[in-house]
């Protein structure tokens, strides 16, 4: 049976409301994990609650957990029944997590020298990188001997995760006009590429070594014609309820959709370029939400 888990949380925002972040440090059986996330517009209190939510989401149901926070608002609401006039959406999420765990709440004085509370503050303010289960950053797909290995995610809870990836295929304006007008000899380029992207996302673990097979809840691939820059813009969204992220599925969908566009049009345009394949954003999971564009 797993030992007691301690979670140290902190959150805050600039201007209140304004840009903000949250951080959580999880200690269990001598190991430490660190989580953090940012939001473009939020409040101090929302980030304090979010830090507790994200920390508890990283623990299995039935766990014995103590949450340490310097937020009287958070701790007293959970222990003394302070009124919940605002942030009801977050309180509902927190209550659901607490209902499936044995959770104690401990108020700690902020900036009083407690190392884990200070670390949570650094994570929340963005002053420190996230480091999971180690004192030094490392590649997750390498074991202690530096050998390639599949990451063990068995200890993680299943959460809803979503990723959005983008990329584009640049081409001659005449080629773009052929696609728009359905004049490509091989058929409907956009429809075929869309299906190819969805199929590729479902086969990601067969294509990428050490990638976990995921039960995909949704894969959506969009292809838009950009007349100004003469390119097909591809956006893929992948969603799962699983123990690990779905970024690779979204990126694979974009890549294969782009390759399909290239394959169907290469007879008329050998100069096409597949460019800008990247992650746009991800949500869910222990590392928190990441918005890159």
Q: Which residue in the list 92, 135, 229, 263 is annotated as catalytic?
A: 263
**Tokens encoding 187:** 């058929």
- Other CB atoms closer than 10 Å to residue 205's CB: what's the count? 15
Return the axis-axis angle of helices 72-80 and 44-57, rounded to nearest 10°: 60
Q: What strands, in cross-sheet order, belong to the sheet with 159-170?
A: 216-226, 231-242, 159-170, 273-283, 290-291
* CB of 265 closer than 8 Å to CB of 272: yes
269 is catalytic: no
Spacing of C-alpha 33 from chain mean position:
16
CB atoms within 10 A of CB 239: 21
Orientation angle between helical segments 247-265 and 173-181, nearest 10 degrees = 100
| 179/182 Cα distance (integer angstroms) | 5
Radius of gyration of the chain (CA): 23
Catalytically annotated residues: 263
């Amino acid at each position: 049976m797993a030992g007691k888990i301690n979670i140290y949380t902190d959150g805050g925002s600039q201007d209140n409301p304004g840009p903000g972040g949250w951080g959580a440090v999880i200690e269990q059986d001598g190991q430490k994990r660190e989580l953090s996330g940012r939001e473009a517009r939020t409040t101090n209190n929302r980030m304090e609650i979010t830090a507790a939510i994200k920390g508890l989401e990283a623990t299995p149901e039935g766990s014995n957990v103590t949450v340490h926070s310097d937020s009287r608002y958070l701790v007293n609401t959970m222990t003394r029944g302070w009124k919940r006039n605002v942030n009801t959406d977050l309180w509902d999420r927190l209550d659901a997590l607490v209902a499936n765990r044995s959770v104690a709440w401990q108020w700690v004085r902020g900036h009083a020298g407690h190392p884990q509370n200070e670390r949570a503050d650094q994570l929340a303010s963005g002053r420190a990188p996230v480091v999971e289960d180690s004192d030094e950053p490392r590649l997750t797909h390498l074991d202690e001997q530096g050998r390639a290995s599949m990451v063990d995610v068995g200890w993680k809870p299943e959460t809803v995760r979503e990723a959005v990836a983008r990329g584009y295929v640049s081409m001659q304006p005449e080629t773009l006009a052929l696609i728009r007008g359905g004049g490509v000899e091989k058929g409907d380029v956009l429809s075929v590429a869309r299906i190819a992207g969805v199929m590729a996302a479902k086969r990601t673990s067969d294509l990428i070594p050490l990638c976990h097979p995921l039960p995909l809840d949704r894969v959506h691939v969009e292809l838009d014609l950009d007349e100004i820059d003469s390119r097909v813009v591809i956006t893929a969204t992948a969603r799962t309820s699983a123990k690990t992220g779905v970024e690779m599925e979204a990126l694979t969908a974009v890549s294969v959709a782009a390759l399909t566009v290239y394959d169907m049009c290469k007879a008329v345009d050998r100069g096409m370029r597949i460019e800008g394949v990247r992650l746009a954003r991800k949500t869910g999971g222990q590392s928190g939400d990441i918005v890159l564009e």
